[in-house]
Chain A
Amino acid sequence: MVELLGLTAGLFALFVSFGFMVGVFFGFFGMGGAFLVTPALLILGYPAPVAIGSTMTFVFGTAIIATLKHHDAGQVDYRLGALMFVGITLGIELGSRLVFGLEVLGIANLVVSVAYVLLLAAIGLLFTKNALEADSDEKTESAEATENADSDDDVPAIARRIKSYNIPPMMRLADGSTASLWTISGVGGGVGVVSGFLGVGGGFVRMPAIYYVIGTPLAVAVGTSLLGGLLSGGVGAFTYGRAGVIDLGIVTALLIGSALGARIGSSATAYVNEADVTIYFGLMLLLASVAVGLSELADWLARPILDQLSFVLLIGSSLLVCSMILYHGALAVRRGAGDPTEADK
Chain B
Amino acid sequence: MSGTELFAGGPPAVHAIALITVVFVEAIVLYVGYGVIEDAIAPAVFGRLRQ
Contacts and interface: CB of A to CB of B under 8 A. Distances in A.
Contacts of B8: 244
A61 B43 contact: no
B42 A64 contact: no
A333 to B, nearest CB: 5
A5, A7, A61, A68: residue with the most chain B Cβ atoms closer than 10 Å? A61
B27 A255 contact: yes
B19 A243 contact: no
Interface string A5-34: 111000000000000000000000000000
Contact of A333 (B1, B4, B33, B49): B49
Interface in B1-51: 1-4, 8, 12-13, 15-17, 19-20, 22-24, 26-28, 30-31, 33-35, 38-39, 42-43, 46, 49-50
B1 A5 contact: yes
Contacts of A239: 16
Contacts of A339: 42-43, 46
Contacts of B17: 238, 241
B11 to A, nearest CB: 9
Contacts, number: 101
A334 B50 contact: yes
Interface-centre pick from A7, A240, A248, A260 (highest chain B CB count, 10 A):
A248
Nearest to B48: A333
Contacts of B33: 259
Contact of A263 (B1, B24, B34): B34
A325 to B, nearest CB: 15
Give the dominant DSSP class at B's interface: helix
Given A238-B16, A339-B42, A339-B46, A247 B4 contact: yes
Nearest to B12: A242
A64 B19 CA distance: 15
B27 A248 contact: no
A291 interface: no
Nearest to B28: A64
Interface string A314-344: 0000000000000000100110100111000
A199 interface: no
A259 B19 contact: no
| Residue among B2, B42, B46, B50 having the largest count of chain A Cβ atoms under 10 Å | B2
B42 to A, nearest CB: 4
A238 B3 contact: no
B42 A252 contact: no
B23 A60 contact: yes
A178 to B, nearest CB: 33
Contacts of B12: 241-244
Given A238-B20, A251-B23, 17 more contacts: A6-B1, A60-B24, A61-B24, A64-B24, A64-B31, A237-B16, A240-B16, A241-B12, A244-B15, A247-B4, A249-B2, A249-B3, A250-B2, A263-B35, A333-B49, A333-B50, A339-B42
Interface of B: 1-4, 8, 12-13, 15-17, 19-20, 22-24, 26-28, 30-31, 33-35, 38-39, 42-43, 46, 49-50
Interface of A: 5-7, 57, 60-62, 64-65, 68-69, 234, 237-244, 246-252, 255-256, 259-260, 263, 330, 333-334, 336, 339-341
Q: Which 10 A-B pairs have the closest CB atoms?
A: A241-B16, A249-B2, A6-B2, A259-B30, A248-B3, A242-B12, A64-B27, A61-B27, A341-B42, A248-B4
6 contacts: A61-B26, A62-B27, A248-B3, A259-B31, A336-B50, A341-B38
